[in-house]
């Protein structure tokens, strides 16, 4: 026997398990698991993710050959459990064919329901169930989905409606009907005929009638959908590898569209937006599959409490609510109870918030999916901490539950409460995903970048809109509930979203929306409050969010487990203080050149650069000294008690000089030299490759007086603070060292200057002198350098530039292509290239510590705040990472997770 490609489940038994997600995909593994723990699930089977890879290599025909025997047996397995027959006219088995990758990619790939129907089977189904309407409703849905997914009948342009929906809308108009459920059997028959005709007309093919032909077509379509544009984009956004592939789940249909004792819905065991521990969800009576999330009818709430909250937001009276939109708790109390128990059981079993799909067929409950629910950053923190407090999970599990980069959402601004009070509310919808967003209105996802800040407004969103949703600041939809596509995707992205704002009428052709009689054009400003569902006119002010509560608790836990400490990259006292509030324990990189640009200073800097003698340079530097000293005092004070690594002047000097005629002239007058002299010096400073030119310690070597002045400013600042009883801990860092001698010479200048200052002042402080390792050679000769240096700080930005030989400032031209073609998996300037650049970090650390075991080592590139890079630094034994202030909490959590893992 060859390798097993198909795994069956059904009736309390399964060949798979929850921990087989790699092979069976998340959906398949959990369908198996639900069977094993006694949750009612329609029987079926899963074709493994490995077959997807085979499919991509071998193609349709070969893969059908490989699968045929196993699939036929598995179909027989379903037939046995359901007492039906696939393709049979009298007692047909209908199945769904569903995608399901290892990591959930909601709505990104395709699913086909009611497969197995044709003109004869539909009659059989009608007879068997005594429900002709249901049979034809299922048939028209099947042709619609199959036509779209397998046969490729799609809208021709973005302004066009879906071709099937167009036919449906036309019929509704002709008949004066509003809802799908109002169609008569004859209407549905008419729709089926029109659908088939449309398929034939656009694709030139007849709709397939053989159930196996349908099945194989659907299986291939699911495999193909792994490579569709939106799935590819979703994977890139979420760092899911292309090689994983999707599994295919084939499962007996259960029907929520069999009449008024049938229903379908989606539920969450806790609130995915806020994390609140309340069961919630939406459902529709006499509906199927995606009806609830597609926003075609207004979905109803599952719980009574939720239903009342919803009605209030929609300004619907209690009377109207009970009549038109009652909760499941009210319409089907016994089934509600059963569903409630199942959700409790599932959450206890998986020990995480679950997102589930269910269908009720003539009074019987079936579960169709469970997965760890997507949630906002705030909900993520609250749920993990609640479960930890309730002892459902331990400290370490709680930490590992958190996605470090999602903490970012908690640091975003919220609306200023005063500004909100005076803002004009245009309309309200559902608070689908919290946050504050302000932007200019656009109506098409592919135009979300039309203005700098946009709000994407749609009747409802679809998976094709993913990229635009990512780009927009916020999303507003006219239809759809809390489980609509827009809502779920926005929460996953941590993007502000208001859904189901029924007061909005959209005209895509005219590019306008009308709210309460007022017309808004594309480009008009609006603001969204994703926490209340309010839509405001114009721009509304925002303020800093609150960092206490559960967020504080997470940080406490993180510090308990993290081995590495987290510092920040900060050049100003303000940034230093922000970072300190976020828990930074020191500064890993303080760039001094930023201090050279402000006001009067730039003049002195230019004088220094343009001076033709050492004397002239010294004179200019003397002017700079007080400014620098003051800057350092501010920063050291803000970081009192913690180390502050100050990097000596690094950039090429020509960045500071004036390039325009007028500024050159003004400078010449001020310095009392002819303008030609200025012009010549500026020309002299031009370099072909400034990033590899006269910069870094090369400046300090050629002009030691610069190093002297900066050292003096640092040491004097620390001594001044000491006098005031403030504990300053300077660490002086020499940039861009490639040889031991460079460092040694600079260190000598630094020590000499420091000693001189100590003598002058009759006082002393402790300080360190170390270097940045950012030239590959420095990593290779790290043992030599470590003999002289107190610490190493890997400058992974330059180290990446020089290891790859990519100029970061010019990489925009080719990096996107490299990522597209898979030459690189990730942008190496964002995610540390562990395989290449990482080797240099490892080697440099090992060689350095080989001669000086106590050598302090950290990194200060952008990577210091990127979770996978932080994890790498932990494994490599670094003492700290340093990152921008707003990434400090992320790095702290990532450092703790690395320790726990
Ligand atoms: P997605 O991954 O996009 O959620 P699914 O495969 O879960 O797609 O299916 C789409 C919809 O069809 C869901 O609402 C699901 O519950 C429903 N569905 C799938 N299989 C069946 C089935 N066998 N019987 C009834 N409904 C089904
Ligand atoms: Mg699903
Ligand atoms: Mg550098």
Query: Six-digit token pair at 540?
Result: 């509304």
pLDDT at res. 171: 92
pLDDT at res. 388: 96
* Residue numbers annotated as active site: 485, 860
What's the gap in Å between 27 CA and the centre of ligand 2? 8
Neighbours of ion ligand 3 (CB under 5 A): 774, 795, 798
H/E element, 13: strand 13-14
The answer for 763, left when phi > 0, alpha when psi is -120 to 50, beta otherwise, is beta
CB atoms within 10 A of CB 517: 6
**Residues of the chain where predicted confidence (pLDDT) is lower than 50:** none
Residue 252 alpha carbon, nearest atom of ligand 1:
23
Ligand nearest to the CA of 801: 3
Say if residues 59 and 110 touch (Cβ distance below 8 Å): no
DSSP per-residue string spanning 38-51? T-----EEEE-HHH
DSSP 689: S
Q: Going by CA atoms, what residue is nearest to atom 23 of ligand 1?
A: 253
Long-range contacts of 603-607 (CB under 8 A, 24+ apart): 603/667, 603/670, 605/656, 606/656, 606/657, 606/658, 606/667, 607/671
pLDDT in tens, 453-505: 999 999 988 877 888 999 999 999 998 888 788 888 888 787 899 998 988 99
In degrees to the nearest 10, what's the CA dihedral of 783, 788, 793, 794? -40
Query: What phi and psi values does residue 98 have, to the nearest 5 degrees?
Result: -125, 140
Say if residues 891 and 864 touch (Cβ distance below 8 Å): yes
Give 800: exposed, middle or buried? Use CB within 10 Å, 0-12, 13-18, 19+.
Answer: buried
Q: Which of 638, 636, 632 is nearest to 579 (CA)?
A: 638
Cα distance between residue 793 and residue 769, in whole Å: 11
pLDDT in tens, 155-182: 877 777 788 988 998 999 999 988 888 8
pLDDT in tens, 371-421: 999 998 889 999 999 999 999 999 999 999 999 988 988 887 788 877 888
pLDDT at res. 1: 55
Residue 109 alpha carbon, nearest atom of ligand 1:
3
Say if residues 694 and 735 touch (Cβ distance below 8 Å): no
Q: What is the pTM of this model?
A: 0.85
Ligand nearest to the CA of 141: 1
Say if residues 575 and 644 touch (Cβ distance below 8 Å): no
Q: Would you call 774 helix, strand, or coil by DSSP? A: coil
Cα distance between residue 542 and residue 316, in whole Å: 30
Say if residues 656 and 596 touch (Cβ distance below 8 Å): yes
Ligand nearest to the CA of 41: 1
The beta-strand segments (E) located in 601-666 are 643-647
DSSP 507: E
Say if residues 214 and 115 touch (Cβ distance below 8 Å): yes
Residue 42 alpha carbon, nearest atom of ligand 1:
23
Name all residues whose Cβ lies below 6 A of ligand 1: 42, 96, 98, 106-107, 111, 113, 251-254, 289-290, 357, 359, 368-369
Q: Which of 772, 769, 767, 743 is nearest to 757 (CA)?
A: 767
CB atoms within 10 A of CB 452: 8
DSSP 408: G
């Amino acid at each position: 026997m060859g390798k097993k490609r198909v795994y069956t489940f059904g009736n309390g038994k399964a060949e798979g398990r929850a921990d087989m997600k790699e092979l069976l995909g998340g959906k398949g593994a959990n369908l198996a698991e639900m069977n094993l723990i006694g949750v009612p699930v329609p029987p079926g089977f899963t074709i493994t993710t490995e077959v997807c890879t085979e499919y991509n290599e071998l193609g349709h025909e070969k893969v059908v050959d490989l699968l045929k025997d196993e699939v036929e047996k598995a179909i027989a397995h379903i037939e046995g459990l359901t007492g039906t027959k696939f393709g049979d006219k009298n007692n047909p088995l209908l199945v769904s064919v569903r995608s399901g990758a290892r990591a959930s990619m909601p709505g990104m790939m395709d699913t086909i329901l009611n497969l197995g129907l044709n003109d004869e089977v539909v009659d059989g189904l009608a007879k068997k169930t005594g429900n002709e309407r249901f049979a034809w409703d299922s048939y028209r849905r099947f042709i619609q989905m199959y036509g779209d997914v397998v046969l490729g009948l799609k809208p021709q342009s973005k302004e066009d409606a879906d071709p099937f929906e167009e036919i449906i809308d036309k019929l509704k108009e002709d008949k004066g009907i509003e809802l799908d459920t109002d169609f008569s059997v004859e209407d549905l028959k008419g729709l089926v005929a029109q659908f088939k005709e449309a398929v034939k007309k656009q694709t030139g093919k007849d709709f397939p009638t053989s159930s196996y032909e349908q099945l194989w077509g659907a299986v291939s379509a699911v495999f193909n959908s792994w490579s569709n544009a939106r799935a590819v984009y979703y994977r890139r956004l979420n760092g899911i590898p292309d090689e994983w592939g999707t599994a295919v789940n084939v499962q007996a249909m259960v029907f929520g569209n069999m009449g008024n004792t049938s229903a379908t819905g989606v539920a969450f065991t806790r609130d995915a937006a806020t994390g609140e521990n309340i069961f919630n969800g939406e459902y529709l009576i006499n509906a199927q599959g995606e009806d609830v999330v597609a926003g075609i009818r207004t979905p109803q709430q599952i719980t009574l409490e939720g239903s009342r909250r919803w009605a209030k937001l929609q300004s619907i009276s209690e009377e109207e609510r009970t009549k038109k939109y009652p909760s499941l708790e009210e319409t089907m109390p016994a089934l509600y109870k059963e569903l409630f128990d199942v959700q409790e059981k599932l959450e206890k079993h998986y020990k995480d918030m679950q997102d589930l799909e269910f269908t009720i067929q003539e009074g019987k409950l079936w579960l169709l999916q469970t997965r760890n629910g997507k949630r906002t950053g705030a909900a993520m923190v609250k749920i993990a901490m609640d479960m930890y407090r309730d002892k459902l999970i331990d400290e370490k599990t709680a930490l590992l539950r958190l996605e470090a980069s999602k903490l970012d959402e908690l640091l975003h601004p919220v609306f200023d409460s005063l500004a909100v009070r005076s803002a004009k509310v245009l309309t309200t919808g559902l608070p689908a995903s919290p946050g504050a967003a302000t932007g200019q209105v656009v109506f098409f996802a592919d135009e979300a970048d039309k203005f700098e800040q946009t709000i994407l407004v749609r009747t409802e969103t679809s998976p094709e809109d993913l990229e635009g949703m990512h780009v927009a600041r916020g999303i507003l939809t006219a239809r759809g509930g809390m489980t609509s596509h827009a809502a779920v995707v926005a929460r996953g992205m941590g993007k502000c979203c208001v859904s189901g704002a029924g007061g909005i009428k959209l005209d895509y052709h005219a590019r306008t929306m009308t709210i309460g009689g007022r017309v808004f054009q594309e480009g008009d400003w609006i603001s969204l409050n994703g926490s209340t569902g309010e839509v405001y006119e114009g721009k509304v002010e925002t303020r800093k969010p609150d960092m206490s509560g559960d967020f504080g608790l997470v940080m406490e836990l993180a510090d308990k487990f993290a081995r590495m400490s987290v510092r920040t990259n900060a050049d100003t006292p303000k940034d230093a203080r922000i970072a300190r509030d976020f828990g930074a324990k020191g500064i890993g990189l303080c760039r001094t050149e930023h201090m050279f640009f402000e006001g009067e200073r730039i003049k002195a800097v230019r004088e220094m650069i343009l001076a033709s003698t050492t004397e002239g340079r010294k004179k200019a530097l003397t002017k700079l000294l007080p400014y620098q000293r003051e800057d350092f005092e501010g920063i050291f004070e803000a970081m009192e008690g913690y180390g502050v690594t100050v990097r000596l002047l690094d950039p090429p000097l020509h960045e500071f000089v004036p390039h325009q005629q007028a500024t050159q002239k003004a400078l010449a007058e001020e310095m009392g030299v002819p303008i030609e002299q200025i012009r010549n010096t500026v020309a002299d400073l031009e370099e072909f490759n400034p990033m590899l030119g006269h910069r870094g310690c090369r400046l300090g070597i050629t002009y030691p007086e610069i190093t002297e002045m900066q050292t003096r400013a640092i040491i004097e600042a620390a001594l001044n603070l000491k006098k005031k009883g403030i504990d300053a801990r300077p660490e002086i860092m020499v940039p861009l060292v490639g040889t031991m001698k460079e460092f040694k010479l600079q260190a000598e200048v630094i020590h000499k200057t420091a000693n001189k200052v100590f003598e002058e002042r009759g006082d002393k402080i402790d300080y360190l002198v170390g270097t940045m390792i950012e030239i590959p050679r420095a990593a290779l000769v790290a043992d030599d350098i470590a003999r002289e240096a107190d610490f190493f700080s890997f400058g992974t930005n330059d180290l990446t530039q020089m290891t790859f030989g990519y100029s970061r400032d010019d990489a925009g031209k080719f990096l996107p292509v490299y990522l597209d073609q898979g030459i690189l998996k990730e942008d190496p300037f964002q995610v540390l290239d562990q395989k290449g650049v990482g080797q240099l970090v490892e080697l440099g650390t090992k060689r350095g510590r080989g001669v000086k075991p106590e050598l302090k080592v950290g990194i200060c590139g952008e990577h210091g705040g990127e979770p996978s890079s932080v994890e790498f630094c932990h494994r490599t034994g670094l003492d700290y990472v340093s990152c921008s202030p707003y990434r400090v909490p992320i790095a702290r959590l990532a450092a703790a997770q690395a320790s726990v893992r």
